Amino acid sequence: MAAPRNIRTKAYVVQGEGDPFTLCDVVLDEVQPNEVLVEIWYTGICHTDVVVQHGGMPLGGYPAVLGHEGAGVVRWTGSAIKDKSLKPGDSVLLSFHSCRQCRFCLEGRCGTCPHMTETNFVRPAHGTKVHGQFFGQSSMSKLAVVAEASIIKVQDSVAVVGMGAVGIAAMLAAKSLGVRHVIAIDVVEAKLKVASSLGATHIVNSAAEPDLQTALHAIIPGGPNSIIDTTGLVGVLEASVKALAHGGTLALVGVPAPTATMRINALDLLLSCKRVIGVIEGATDPHILVPKLFELYRDGKFPVDCLAKVYPAEQLDKAITDLESGLIVKPILSWENLY
């Protein structure tokens, strides 16, 4: 079967840095032999989409179609894809793309693939002027051409800063791994109540407790073994390093501003044996992680239903407003009734 071409669809396009998401008619580039055409049914909205919209994270250029949490149905598969079991009609989730050939991918650390930029943010163009392949998918679209293809050691205590979707997922992961003390930190009381209902053993409202080290050491003498930051705020990161236990690890998951710089006392870092690490896409292989998440969901240990709200695709602005106001943890766009 010939590759589909000149496919018209709807997509949210950001024309330039700081411009609004605009629902437009677009024409997809010809699907390549190593690619798959997917009809997008749902797209999760992430704060990263808003950050990129306003130029807070390098992208490659505008206009652009964003979105990196897509789910839908396969409509066509290229002749050169490696997974021959993939066929039209299959329900699929879309994750980030990696080469799956370098030593990092072969070790299961696909998030550290050195080819991350070219495989996720650049796609060979054949006449299109809209930048696609955002995290390998650009799923803020009714149809999308997609590529085929915070580590926590089980410890005594983990603190998670920021109770958005990523933070709550990290908290639930820690609970599922048997971490005894799981501390949820946020400035929004409603989010802390959600975290508490989902199993956080302690909550800290950092608006009322401005000294993070004092607050955490009052709960865990000496500080938590690990802190996972989903905010990307420099002040929070610096405070988190101080709050860690001896030999503890701070995992940076949130996206800092491009010019953000952390100040760390080097001698203190040495003597305390602390570590600061960056975590991209969970530092894992989605082909392994996603099935595990489904298993946790079936076992009632990953109750994402209570965190999400579905919006019609035409209501992206409202979904983003509700996300930024803290009204909802994970907004999801539905493309099912958009023609």
User: What pLDDT, in 10s, does the model give residues 115-137?
Assistant: 776 666 555 444 444 444 544 54
Q: Is residue 124 part of a domain?
A: yes
Q: Is residue 127 part of a domain?
A: yes
Q: Is residue 40 part of a domain?
A: yes
Q: Residue 257's pLDDT is what? A: 86
Query: What total of structural domains would you count in the chain?
Result: 2
pLDDT bucket at 30, cuts 50 / 70 / 90: confident
Q: Are residues 34 and 132 in the same domain?
A: yes
Cross-strand pairs, 26: 9
Q: Are residues 83 and 100 in the same domain?
A: yes
Q: Are residues 164 and 62 in the same domain?
A: no
Q: Which domain holds residue 165?
A: 157-278
Amino acid at 91: S
The percent of residues above 70 in pLDDT, for the chain, comes to 86
Q: Is residue 291 part of a domain?
A: no
Alpha-carbon gap, residue 262 to 246, rounded angstroms: 19
Q: Give the H or E element holding residue 240.
A: helix 234-243
Torsion of CA 129, 135, 137, 141, to 10 degrees: -70
Mean pLDDT within 266-282:
90
Cα atoms in the Cβ-side hemisphere of radius 13 Å centred on 82: 6
pTM of the model: 0.72
